[in-house]
Amino acid sequence: MEDKRQKQEKIVSMFDEIASTYDVTNRVLSMGIDKSWRKKGCDKTFQLLDRQDDLTVLDVACGTGDMLQWWRDRGESAGVTFKRFIGVDPSEGMLKVAKEKVDYADFVVAKAQEMPIEENTSDILSISYGIRNVVDRQEAINEFYRVLKPGGMVVILEFTKREDRGLKGKVVDFYMQKILPTIGGLVSRNYEAYRYLPDSIEGFLTTDMLKSELEKAGFTVEYTQSFSMGISTLIIAKK
C-alpha cells in the first residue's frame, strides 16, 4: 500500500499533467456555474471580515489562479483594498499557467500542510476544490490557523460527500460517476484524472465532518452554504 507521501506525490503529478487543459475542462464540466460559487464565497467573506483595507489574500492549492482573480475583482467592486496576493500550490505545472494569468500575485511551490508563510500574516486564506486532495488534511488546517491573523477568515469551497441518497442524490451520483469522467477525459485527454474526482469525493468528508476539523484547529464556523443539489459546499470560518 502506498504511503501518504507517495499518494500526495501521485496527486500532484496528475495535476501537472492536466494543467494546460484544466480551466477549459472545469468550465465545461460545471457549465460555468462554478463562477457563481466563487463569487458568493468572495462576497460573503468581505461581508464577514472586520477589515477592508490593505488585505493580504493567500490562496492555497491555487491551481491556475482562478480564485485569485475572483478575490481581486470582487474586492475592487466592494471597495476593498489589497496589500498582497499569494498563491501556493505543489504543482509546478499549475503554477506555470497561473503566472501567465495573474501578474499581480506572488507564487510559492509548497504543500498546504507545509507553507513557508509567516504566522499571523494573512487576512483571508482560501482553498477552492483543493482540500480534498490534501492527504494530511488536519495538519493543513492547523497550518491555515497558524498563518491567518486573529480575526482572519478561512474560505473553503469543496465537493463534500453528500448524505442525501434520495432521488436528487442519485441524479448527482449519475452525473459525477458516469458523465463527468467521460467529458473530462475527452477534453483533457486524461480519463484517469477525471475518474479520480468522483472517487475522491466519495472518499472525502461530509460538510459536518469538515466543520468539526476546522473547529478542532480553533476556528469558529461563521457561514455554510451548499450549491446545486449539494454538489458544492462553501464554508467560511474565523480565527
Q: What is the pLDDT of residue 47?
A: 96
Res. 207: pLDDT tops 50: yes
Domain membership of residue 151 (yes or no) is yes
Residue showing cell 472525502: 204
Find the CATH number of the domain harbouring 120: 3.40.50.150
Chain segment 136-155, per-residue pLDDT in tens: 899 999 999 999 999 999 99
Q: What is the pLDDT of residue 30?
A: 60
Cell, residue 42: 468572495
What are the start-end ranges of the E strands in the chain?
55-60, 82-89, 106-109, 122-128, 148-158, 220-227, 232-238
**119 vs 229, more confident:** 119
Q: What is the pLDDT of residue 13?
A: 75
Q: What is the pLDDT of residue 186?
A: 58
Domain membership of residue 147 (yes or no) is yes
**132 vs 160, more confident:** 132
Cell, residue 6: 507517495
C-alpha dist (Å) from residue 212 to 34, 42, 220, 237, 239: 25, 22, 10, 11, 14
Chain segment 184-204, per-residue pLDDT in tens: 555 556 656 565 565 555 555
Q: What is the pLDDT of residue 1?
A: 44
Quote the pTM value.
0.82
Domain membership of residue 171 (yes or no) is no
Chain segment 15-66, per-residue pLDDT in tens: 667 666 666 666 655 666 888 999 999 999 999 999 999 999 999 999 999 9
- Per the document, the length of the chain is 239
Number of domains in the chain: 1
Chain segment 61-98, per-residue pLDDT in tens: 999 999 999 999 999 999 999 999 999 999 999 899 99
Residue 107 β-bridge partners: 87
Domain membership of residue 62 (yes or no) is yes
Q: What is the pLDDT of residue 4?
A: 73
Domain membership of residue 24 (yes or no) is no
Domain assignment of residue 127, given as a range: 4-10+32-159+206-238
Domain membership of residue 79 (yes or no) is yes
Q: What is the pLDDT of residue 212?
A: 94
Interstrand relation of 148-158 and 232-238 (parallel, antiparallel or unpaired): antiparallel
Domain membership of residue 172 (yes or no) is no
Domain membership of residue 63 (yes or no) is yes
